[in-house]
Structure 1
Amino acid sequence: MSPNSVRLRPIVHATPTATGLHVRGWRSSFTLDGGKGLWTIWERLAGPLAEGVPPEQLAVPDNAPPAVARALELLIGQLREHDMLVEVPGEWGEDAPPAEIASWLESVAPSPLEAWRRLRSVTVVVTGDGALAAHAHRALVAAGLAVAPVRPGPGLLVAGGGAAVAAGCAADVGFAVAPGAVAEVEADAAAVARRLAGAPGTPPEVLAALVGSAAAHRLVCAVGGLPDPATEVVDMWSDVPPTGPPHQPVLVARLDPLHAEYHPWLSEVRPREPNGTLLEVLGNRELGPVPTPLPGDLPQLPVKLAAAGDVVGFGTTEHAARLDALLRAARALAPDDVVLGADRVHALGSALRTAVRHLAGTPVTEDEWAADPTARRWWKAVALRFALPASAEVTRLGPGVVRAVVRADGEELSWAVEASPADAVAFAAMAAAGRAQAGVADTVVLCGAAPFAEPDGAAAPWTNRDWHWPYGLRDGEEAFQDDLRALGADVKSVPLGPVLEAAGLVAFAVAEGGR
């Protein structure tokens, strides 16, 4: 018989429901329906599991009635699937952890004994000053680690077992970066401190205690092979375990009221593959390099508007407007003369459109687009709602490629290049209307290459182009880009650096001779 036993993790709790039971764990939960008898079966199963049973005995008894056997099989399967069972040692050995630490490891560690051995095998060094370092040192000692006396130094650095965590605390804000190598975490900490721009002064004791303990917690998890605390956040409504925060999550803590949250950080020294949405990462309210795009007090009819700092974005929905504002603001961080996109399809489509926009072509009559409800709607916004003395020049540049330019009093308000006259006019007219609505002076360009979030009811049988344009237009974007290349459009990829590329942005420039 194995010296180990399988136990229900101490953090797991269950409650009966009218038709079964609900079981909650550390990072997930499940509900089973099948009658009140499920609760009785649970009580008989949970009792032995709380004490621990040999692994080979965790099985459905051969003599169990079929209904009970099915319920037991389902319960055991769900407990395993949701990581609510753990194998614990029969004996921890001479260096056994205190009861509260053992209970914590049994609640969260894949292998409590292995995690404890790793934690006991290292000596952690704390470098810092004041209450921040003192609280980190105290938390590490409380977790059962061997900790050297605090070394003086700026900020806070806790290191051991090949991992390190850096943190900092101002008078009003503190932070703890993701675990990594010493050079990485120190570089990230310095950059995060600059981004947060905390108030000078001695940090309050409560803030220093929160940040120092959080830094210690992240190091303990890294050394012990436990999931980083940033992955513990669960959506309270769905109870679905998250896939993990994008990039290197940084804990940011503030006063009034005291609170702490993990925020994605676009690191310059340890970039990762793009993960997470642009709005969540690039425009993060705490750590994003671009101001968070929000509608604010901007008018929202007929075009949806959003502002990221002083930059205004345009769209048919709030999400589209916020994404457009984010990209326009991010251009200040990109090289000059590049076309920026939310992804490769968007950036490439925008650049190819720019490359062909000055080509000569044949005029398209108004009859070819005026009957389209979407084009007509946006043109009416220009001519009637904003009473602009505007004209639309529509030109066919080649097979399947149409350019629309909106001008007023000789000034170019907007332009668009799309596959059909109706779409080209619709985008150009919407951009011109948005320009007038926002009161901006620059030429506005919008296009069908941008990613558009699926609207509510998009799949309803009664919806059509008039309801959710331009959603779905990007489905034909790659074929349209082939048509643009056939006209001689030539663009080249441009590197954006680790921060913007980690956010998922892509840039192209029009190549010489590409027009």
Structure 2
Amino acid sequence: MSGVLLRLRPVVHATPTGNGVHVRGWRSSFTLDGGRGLWTIWERLAAPLADGVPPERLVAPEGAAPVVARALELLIGQLREHDLLVEVPAGWGGGGDGQPPPDIAGWLESVAARPVEAWGLLRAARAEVVGEGVLAAAARRALVATGVEVAAVRPGPGLLVVVGAHAVAGGCAGDVGFVVAPGAVGEVLADAAGVAERLSGGAGEPPEVLAALVASAAAHRVVCAVGGLPDPSTEVVDMWHDVPPGGPPQQAVLVARLDPLRAEYHPWLSVVRPREAGGVPLEVLGDEELGPVATPLPGALPQLPVKLAASGEVVGFGVTEHSARLDALLRAASRLAPEGALIGADRVHARGLALRAAVRGLPGEVVAGREWSGDPTARRWWKAVVLRFALPAEVEVTRLAPEVVRAVVRCGGVELSWAVEASAADAVAFAALAAAGRAQVERAGGVGWASGPVVLCGAAPVATPDAAAAPWTNRDWHWPYGLRDVEEAFQEGVRALAGEVEPVDLGPVLTAAGLVAFR
């Protein structure tokens, strides 16, 4: 072979638009507008690129009209910018003389930055497969099909594929199977044991179709690791709901199930190889397959006047579904934390909870009811307690410092809830919201789900509500949105009363999920 060619990646597709062309690849796309003639120019460009063009010839031909030359320049520039062109040797992909078969060559051209180097790594690799039955046999077939040499299969539990320094482990039983992220042998085996325990898929010989899916996915992940290719879990479909949550990624585990046959990647909070803290706690901790706490959902719980969400036997409260789900998740996660730790969704939230708890019992001056009763938000939630749920409740409001106010709601001498905020209105609103939530849960038959005083506060992160910036809206429309913006300043005043609070180590799982705790 001699010479180098630039080819259009096989995954690239294009469609004409009303005024140009739309081109899309595996991970990116672009649209050019400029007239319907762009589609004709694209067809003339794409045809030779499918077979390969020497780099020096990938320019507008001499004598081309300026408008055509400009269109070609834009198309070629966009193809380069979006990594839709790949460099291969002339004669690549024919299947002879050590070349990959056409299907493997096409796959490498689609996903590899340098297909020839990736093929060389695969050709030099030697895999070891540990497993039994259809699971091990399917993994061996998939590896051989990619050009990887495979040693004799050794018997063992589950599935372990080792290629040099890279290993992948998985398992399959009953109606569920899984594949953990590539790593060192000890790490993947430890993660596989944890995932298997979490899924509890049963025992016995797995169905052949499920075993083939799991084994092929394991082979795919280890081959990508060996060849320096992106892990399959990082693939993103061009849809908003397929984009992974923000923040540092967690370990990704493929979970496959039957009826119907399906497979999806789920975040795994690994104990042996935790990732940097961050991410979205709701999506990670409450993941429906691998989360350490039950997915917080409204379910059949009543949603008026307080939004409710349950995570197992724990119920969370909020003014929106998102805030209720987050509250439920944090309450459930608290059961996994050291005793006395106050868990927040982030550092500001956790410190705010701890500082409020520290000043909860301090003496202060009684605040007259007129200072908060005229506030629509405080009045709304207090009316929910005493009118909607008809509780013979009373609220005690005390000023601990010029801008630190405590509100405590009691019923029959039993403390239902408390809050500490910068204003009497906000303190009463949070305390009454929590008390109303408790009453709502009990009316729904959930006695004991919310045992003990409930604490809600303005330190919790709140999603931006719709129309929050509209000129006709005020705090009554989207409370408690906006309190978080002044939370850190409020905490300075509370700290003057309480002193410093100490951080609490939550361990690798909760920390990697982005949670923080103080006491």
1 CA distance for matches of 2:437 and 2:515?
24
State the one-letter code of the partner of 1:485: R
Letter in 2 for 1:14: A
Aligned-pair CA distance for 1:245 = 8.6
Q: 1:427 to 1:240 in 2, by over 3 A?
A: closer
1:61 Cα deviation after fit = 5.0
Q: How far apart are residue 244 of structure 1 and its match? A: 9.7
> Which residue of 484, 494, 505 maps to 2:515?
505
Matches within 5 A, 1:487-498: 487-498=497-508
Query: 1:339-378 counterparts in 2 under 5 A?
Result: 339-378=342-381
Match of 1:493, SS? coil
3-state SS of the aligned residue for 1:293? coil
Deviation of residue 90 (structure 1)?
2.4
The one-character-per-residue Cα deviations of 1:297-340 (angstroms, maximum 9, x if unpaired) are 00000000000000000000000000000000001100001101
The answer to whether the aligner puts 1:134 opposite 2:137 as a matched pair is yes
Amino acid at match of 2:69: A
**In structure 2, what residue type is equivalent to 1:442?**
G
Report deviation, 1:81. 2.6
Contact 2:245 2:279 in 1 (8 A): no
Contact 1:231–1:245 (8 Å) recurs in 2 = no
CA distance in 1, matches of 2:241, 2:22: 14
**Native 8 Å contact 2:247 2:278 kept in 1:** no
Asked if structure 2 preserves the Cα contact closer than 8 Å seen for 1:230 and 1:245, the reply is no
Change in Cα spacing, 1:497 to 1:174, as seen in structure 2 (3 Å) is same
SS at match of 1:165: strand
Once the 2 structures are TM-superposed, how far is the Cα of residue 402 of structure 1 from its aligned partner?
0.6
Aligned to 1:324: 327
Counterpart in the other structure of 2:446: none
When residues 422 and 133 of structure 1 are mapped into structure 2, their CA distance, relative to the original with a 3 A threshold, is same
1:117 aligns with 2:120: yes
In 2, Cα distance between equivalents of 1:174 and 1:60: 52
What is the match of residue 41 of structure 1?
Answer: 41
Residue 62 of structure 1, CA deviation = 6.5
Distance 1:280 1:410 in 2: 39
Structure 2 residue identity aligned to 1:70: R
1:284 matched to which residue of 2?
287
Q: Say if 2:245 and 2:280, in contact at 8 Å, map to a contact too.
A: no
1:173 is aligned to 2:173: no
Matching of residues 454-465 of structure 1 within 5 Å = 454-465=464-475
- For 1:478, the equivalent position in structure 2 comes to 488
8 Å contact from structure 2 (residues 355, 498) kept in 1? no
2:419 is matched with 416
Aligned residues: 508
1:65 aligns with 2:65: yes
Runs of 4+ off more than 3 Å? 59-66, 91-94, 235-245
Q: Percent identity?
A: 74
Partner of 1:152: helix, strand, or coil?
Answer: coil
Q: Is the 8 A contact 1:293 1:326 kept in 2?
A: yes
Letter in 1 for 2:497: L
| Distance in 2, Cα, partners of 1:190 & 1:508 | 31
- The one-letter code sitting in structure 1 at the alignment partner of 2:505 is P
- Letter matched to residue 188 of structure 2: V
- Contact 1:27–1:241 at 8 Å: present in 2 too? no
Q: Which residue of 2 aligns with 1:446?
A: 456
C-alpha distance in 2 between matches for 1:469 and 1:180? 46
Distance 2:247 2:347 in 1: 24
Q: What secondary structure is seen at the aligned counterpart in 1 of 2:268?
A: coil
8 Å CA contact 2:344–2:353 kept in 1: the answer is: yes
Give how far 1:70 is off: 3.3
The answer for the alignment partner of 2:15 in structure 1 is 15
Q: Is the 8 Å Cα contact of residues 128 and 154 (structure 1) preserved in structure 2?
A: yes
Which of these residues, 219, 223, 235, is aligned with residue 220 of structure 1? 223
Aligned CA distance change for structure 1 residues 119 and 172 (closer, same or farther; 3 Å): same
**Cα deviation per residue 1:19-78 (whole Å; 9 max; x = unaligned)?**
222222122322322221110111121122112122233334565434333322322222
Letter in 2 for 1:500: L
Distance 2:247 2:148 in 1: 27
Question: Cα deviation per residue 1:124-150 (whole Å; 9 max; x = unaligned)?
Answer: 111111100000000000011111110
Q: C-alpha distance in 2, partners of 1:44/1:323? A: 54
Other-structure match for 2:98: 95
- How far, CA to CA, are the matches of 1:56 and 1:424 in structure 2? 71
| Contact 1:235–1:241, Cα closer than 8 Å, also in 2 | no
In 1: Cα distance, 2:412 partner to 2:198 partner: 44
Q: Equivalents in 1 of 2:454, 2:514: separation in Å?
A: 23
Match of 1:195 in 2: 198
1:398 to 398, 401, 404: 401
In the other structure, the counterpart of 1:512 is none
Does the CA-based 8 Å contact 2:5-2:54 persist in structure 1? yes
Structure 2 CA distance for partners of 1:388 and 1:489, relative to 1, 3 Å: farther
Q: Which segment drifts farther, 98-107 or 283-292?
A: 98-107
Match of 1:55 in 2: 55
| Residues 316-373 of structure 1 deviation map (CA, whole Å, 9 limit, x = unaligned) | 0000000000000001100001101111110001000000111111111111111111
1:253 is aligned to 2:256: yes
Secondary structure of residue in 1 paired with 2:250 = coil
TM-score by length of 1: 0.95
Aligned Cα RMSD in Å? 1.8
What one-letter code is carried by the residue in structure 2 that aligns with 1:322?
A: R
Flag the 1:491–1:218 CA change in 2: closer, same or farther, 3 A: same
Give yes or no for contact 1:245–1:264 (8 Å, CA) kept in 2: no
Distance 1:126 1:244 in 2: 34
Tell me if 1:152 matches 2:152: no
Whether the 8 Å CA contact 1:347–1:508 is kept in 2: the answer is: yes
Aligned residue type for 2:477: W
Distance 1:218 1:242 in 2: 21
